[in-house]
Amino acid sequence: MSEDSLLSVENLTVRYGPKIACDGVSLSVARGAVYALLGRNGAGKSSLVHCALGQRKPDSGRALLFGEDAWRTRARAMTRTGVEPEEPDAPPAMTRDALVDFCRRLYPSWDSAGTRARLDRFGVPAGVPFGALSKGQKGMLQLALALGPAPQLLILDDPTLGLDPVARKALFEEIVGELADRGTTIFLTTHDLGGIEAIATRVGILKDGRLVLDEDLETLKGRFRRIRYGNRLTETREAFGTELDAFEAVKVKVRGWGIDAVVSNFDDGAFERLRQTNGVEDASTSSMSLEEIFLAIAGEAAGEGGAA
């Protein structure tokens, strides 16, 4: 693991009986990064998070927190790590302030006043038992507790799941604020690709348990493009030749008007040569959102219009 990495996994494999949830995954989260791990349901994201937190021992490989084996040094690492689980969980009878007081005793440094101010800002009521809070309120309470000890590393497992648009916006604004104020390193899984695109610095994509992409977001968006052009010589992609080979096309569709392609190796010079190719008409290129790139890489189930 790099000295600048706070979290990493090395050749991590997780099995549940005959099913392989993570298959030889290796990745590293640099200090100060916002690393977004993406994948469809069942891709292996939560299994990887459980290993990274020392909650599950990998079947092979290892997970490291602050340079030490997460399975063996979990108690020590957790004093420097904030966690928001996929399903918010706390004793149902405890109120938010009781939970703040309880957590305060577990950490060597804890900002009680700041945590309560954050909860007021999130709109989490003070006297309501945890079990009576809405799912969104529970999620924001868990986030506030995760940030209470000013952690060096924040791990969030699908933190916007079940949140309404107002709560999602508040969560991402809080993450941005924490980064600006503290330089906190963040590792999160998420289905909210639109929300995370504005703040992620690096993206990993899991597909069927394998890490198929691990890249800085700006580099990723620079090389993925959509290319469209008319073709007056043929109506089929197979007969049109190799004009897209230089772009490493990920997805190609033949439309009535021509070709609609998603490419993973865009180059301005190669695009100019494409425009000059005999038979190519009205060639155009456009940038792609993180969600569009994800769908091109991870696939889209029949009938779905967005990421799963």
Give a yes or no: residue 114 inside a domain: yes
The answer to whether residue 277 is domain-embedded is: yes
Picking from 196, 217, 238, the residue at the C-terminal end of a domain is 217
Mean local confidence (pLDDT), 281-307: 76
Q: What is the number of structural domains in the chain?
A: 2
For β-strands 185-189 and 34-39, DSSP reports them as: parallel
In this prediction, residue 23 carries a pLDDT of: 97
What does the pLDDT average to over 240-244? 66
For residue 140, give Cα distances in angstroms to 60, 85, 225, 231: 34, 11, 36, 52
Question: What is the Cα–Cα distance from 93 to 152, expressed in whole angstroms?
Answer: 30
Give the SS3 label for residue 104: helix
In angstroms, the first-to-last Cα distance of the chain is 31
Contacts of 49 (CB under 8 A, 6+ apart): 155, 157, 189
**Where does a domain end: 170, 197, 217?**
217
Does one domain contain both 205 and 280? no
Mean pLDDT of 43-72: 96
Instruction: Give the residue ranges of DSSP H helices in the chain.
Output: 45-52, 74-78, 96-104, 112-122, 135-147, 165-182, 193-197, 217-223, 268-275, 290-298
Residue 301 has pLDDT above 50, yes or no: no
Same domain, 246 and 197: no
Report the largest interatomic distance among the alpha carbons of the chain, rounded to a whole angstrom: 74
172 in a domain, yes or no?
yes
- Between CA 206 and CA 47 the distance in angstroms is 11
HSE of 65, CA atoms in CB hemisphere, 13 A: 28
Residues 88 and 211 in one domain: yes
* Structural domain contains residue 17: yes
Are 66 and 163 in the same domain? Answer: yes
The proportion of the chain whose per-residue pLDDT surpasses 70, expressed as a percent, equals 92
H-type alpha helices, 15-111: 45-52, 74-78, 96-104
Please state the rounded mean pLDDT for residues 62-67: 96
The lowest-confidence range among 109-113, 154-158, 176-180 is: 176-180
Taking phi over 0 as left and psi of -120 to 50 as alpha, with beta for the rest, 236 belongs to beta
The answer to the question of residue 36 being in a domain is yes
Q: Are residues 96 and 36 in the same domain?
A: yes
Stated as kind and residue range, the H or E segment containing 24 is strand 19-30
How far apart are alpha carbons 154 and 148 in whole angstroms?
11
The pLDDT of residue 300: 56
> Residues 115, 171: one domain?
yes
Of 255, 258, 193, 151, the residue nearest 36 (C-alpha): 193
Task: Compute the mean pLDDT over every residue in the chain, rounded to the nearest whole number.
Answer: 88
CATH of the domain at 211: 3.40.50.300
Residue ending a domain, among 217, 234, 252, is 217
CB 187 within 8 A of CB 114: no
Do 235 and 174 lie in one domain? The reply is no
Residue 305 domain-assigned (yes or no): no
Rounded to an integer, what distance in angstroms lies between the CA atom of residue 33 and that of residue 277? 42
- Residue 56 sits in the same domain as residue 196: yes
Residue 248 structural domain: 225-287
In this structure, are 36 and 74 located in the same domain? yes
Residues 142 and 279 in one domain: no
Nearest of 124, 29, 183 to residue 37 by alpha carbon: 29
For residue 65, give the H/E element and its range.
strand 60-65
Does residue 293 sit within a domain? no
Both 283 and 138 in one domain: the answer is: no
Please state the pTM of the whole predicted model: 0.88
Note whether 187 and 261 are same-domain residues: no
**What DSSP character marks residue 256?**
S
| Angstrom distance (rounded) from CA 244 to CA 262 | 10
Domain presence at residue 196: yes
Identify the pLDDT of residue 238. 46
